[in-house]
Chains A and B, each alone.
Chain A
């Protein structure tokens, strides 16, 4: 991986790939402003009270290209007690134009403290599902993807 490009895992990558793979005539390029789309990998995640609880490190996507779950790394202290937990995609709320807390998880640390850790990509992922189901935005991703 070229170091110069490393670190730009965003919606932009999708655009770049599309552009690179296209035969002439060249595909159109859309410019998505940062207030409308957010680079989420490595971004801080806040709880409903606005307190930082961890970082989003991976996204699990299903056969229909829809995100099912996000993997969040709860950092611990000095690396001790850090663990990765998969949470239901619908439990996340994204606000790209909110500079302070663009990603909010509608679960508190107390709700997920007993959740099993997400460790092995080859095994069924233990995804924490909010109870009662989160429905601040349409909860069925297939019918209504988030912006």
Chain B
């Protein structure tokens, strides 16, 4: 490869490795240099796993030389959100000072699967402490400080998979793994101007990932394109007996799927959105209207946010019971995280069960509505990246409306976010395509088509572009 591997898609890098234009060791060294140089500046990295990465890269290189090419991720470096267990003495901090020395004797399933695909673990990436589950309201809720958007260091990368978004957007890793309980993959994808996929609940094993809310947590990729997200999902999806919620359905990435060419927009979804977010979304809709019939739809009047919030609060209260009972929250960084775990101990069992019962009603009714469409579309977030020092009101503890996020996460529906423009301040905005359960290929095919005819995802911050050789 005569050009730099920085800001090349996984697919492009994979082809270069396969054709031996560049070696896994060369690529890994390029990205290690980037991580060392920019990681601390953007607060996007917790641990650079240089020794392991070079060892894995050399191993991959030897396999490829011997003709044992494993596929598009073989020899490609990646970063993992620091809530994924990694063996070998590599810390897994869950983004919190309290756990800075925490280590595991095993790898998370997703880390094992990526190793089997030949991918190279190059860094553990920054995150909001305890995946934001304690009700943080500020970007500074992390052991590594506020993670910055590649597009403006005075704005936030989003959360809670902050480092996964920022590192991909800064060109420090070709792809990363994040997690989402409610918004934690899509928010950084939006703020960092990259693509992010929240897979169907159960598509990817959660074994070895910090549990915040067992029936809401999902793991998924962040990358430069929707196409890359599909390649990565194929590598990490699959049944795992250690995660009883993991699905038996086999996933093979395939963009050539049958589509109805119909998209839905939930009425009122643009209410209270930032003006420029609305404007970019309307422009995207006009473009999509060339290929799709787009209809505004009503959804049943159900307490979507309240259901998701109640499930999250009740499950996290149990997941962090010992942490709460010992008063360990006082060691967290964000002031609101220090009292966050206590009020939720008052969620009544009957209210939690009621939320689970309404969840079933929501699942059936939304499935009926969504079966008329290939996907529901909406702006990924209601604002672009917020200022790094600003407080915000989170979905988990607040009362803000977010039907797409609440229903999508409560029902475990897949959604892919891709960039769809910039604000006058040059901050990226995103559009999300949310599909029915297990229909990742459909939403990825639509998002990939969108990206074939737009170049938002090919734009990168000028100050982060690799310097060309004189």
A binds B: no
